[in-house]
Homo-oligomer: A and B are copies of this chain.
């Protein structure tokens, strides 16, 4: 049974039986099973296992999984767990935790197979054999200088079928992609994805090999980041745990902030409507089309923002591309507005006469245009200001589009229907 499935089975146990179920796992497999449990279940085991049991797990956990656990725990739990580690492991754990949050260093494991470039192939193979099975990725061998500087990567296959007397350095092909430990982990995702790597070496400023980031860790990060962007687009704060495990109060906290802020934004719209009170009293039919026009603007704006936020996240477009996309959006939004304007012109004319139909159609075109361009620009502005572009969420765009829509709609209607301007 694969460790991942054992972990799933333990995950499905209730909190009371979880520790007992974990104790049933063969001791040698416990660290690996622990690594595959999700955050909530790891933390509950940290609370319930005895120090001796946790000592075994902590010392055998691979360094990247250990970092992922320690970085989430409160300070006193971290201290308690570090006490359980062997001296060498403590140093390593503390060093890895020293890298910035969400950096490549936090994802890295120092466990990788290193050989010297000036060794013979035979000596390198003997060295690899000696290391045993414990290294995470043994099919890639890291070739270093005496100083520890990374020269190249060779595959086990290359070594196995090379002349045993040849120098390892003679196999090098000098195409080396590396990352620094304090780089953003999304950069590690991008490099591994772009260059189809199974592991990405992490080097310090002098090019010395510190460890590797493996493709399986990076896949998890990519999914996490996509989920975070997804939630942000829906105006939900990052959860960092399963929806099933999230308590109602946590969900409330992650949602209420944005909702209240959006109520405030929409409050400005309410003031805007009040300003045009006289127009409404004169032509009540204006109100029928109000939500329709402003919602359509919001929808078009949300579309534009969605396209930009995702394209910025995947690296498909960059901040410098904004002008070209703006010009393209100008024509697209105009065409969208004209099409939708045609529909509401017919409806408006039927219900409220030709004047209202014209007003509604013109307002629709302007609102769709303004909202689309706003939806396109906001992600770029946020990116430029070093905010996450995904903060330009659909609800935010919709709410701002509502304000613009209210102003545009009543202004156009007041002029076309010849109503008295407020304050005039």
Contacts and interface: CB of A to CB of B under 8 A. Distances in A.
Contact of A156 (B139, B328, B351): B139
A230 B274 contact: no
Given A292-B266, A306-B236, A219 B248 contact: no
Contact of A195 (B4, B259, B285, B339): B4
A256 B155 CA distance: 51
B328 A251 contact: yes
Interface in A148-206: 155-157, 160-161, 175, 177, 192-196, 198
Contact of A299 (B195, B259, B316): B259
A287 interface: yes
Residue from the set A125, A155, A284, A291 with the largest chain B CB neighbour count within 10 Å: A291
A307 interface: yes
Interface residues of A, number: 107
A225 to B, nearest CB: 9
Given A251-B332, A256-B339, A280-B284, A299 B198 contact: no
Contact of A2 (B1, B177, B222): B177
Interface stretch (A45-53, A115-123, A395-403): A395-403
Given A215-B198, A230-B229, A288-B274, A314 B223 contact: yes
A305 B236 CA distance: 11
A220 B189 CA distance: 11
A407 interface: no
A234 interface: yes
B328 A193 contact: no
A7 to B, nearest CB: 10
Given A251-B332, A347-B267, A195 B287 contact: no
Given A129-B161, A307-B243, A291 B292 contact: no
A419 to B, nearest CB: 14
A295 B402 CA distance: 9
Given A235-B299, A273-B287, A287-B287, 16 more contacts: A128-B157, A215-B216, A218-B219, A230-B230, A243-B317, A251-B332, A252-B336, A258-B303, A266-B291, A266-B295, A269-B295, A273-B291, A274-B285, A280-B287, A287-B290, A299-B399
30 contacts: A2-B195, A4-B195, A139-B139, A156-B160, A192-B219, A215-B219, A218-B219, A230-B233, A230-B309, A233-B234, A234-B303, A235-B302, A242-B316, A242-B317, A244-B316, A248-B335, A251-B307, A255-B303, A259-B299, A260-B343, A266-B291, A267-B347, A273-B288, A273-B291, A280-B280, A280-B284, A281-B281, A287-B290, A290-B290, A291-B291
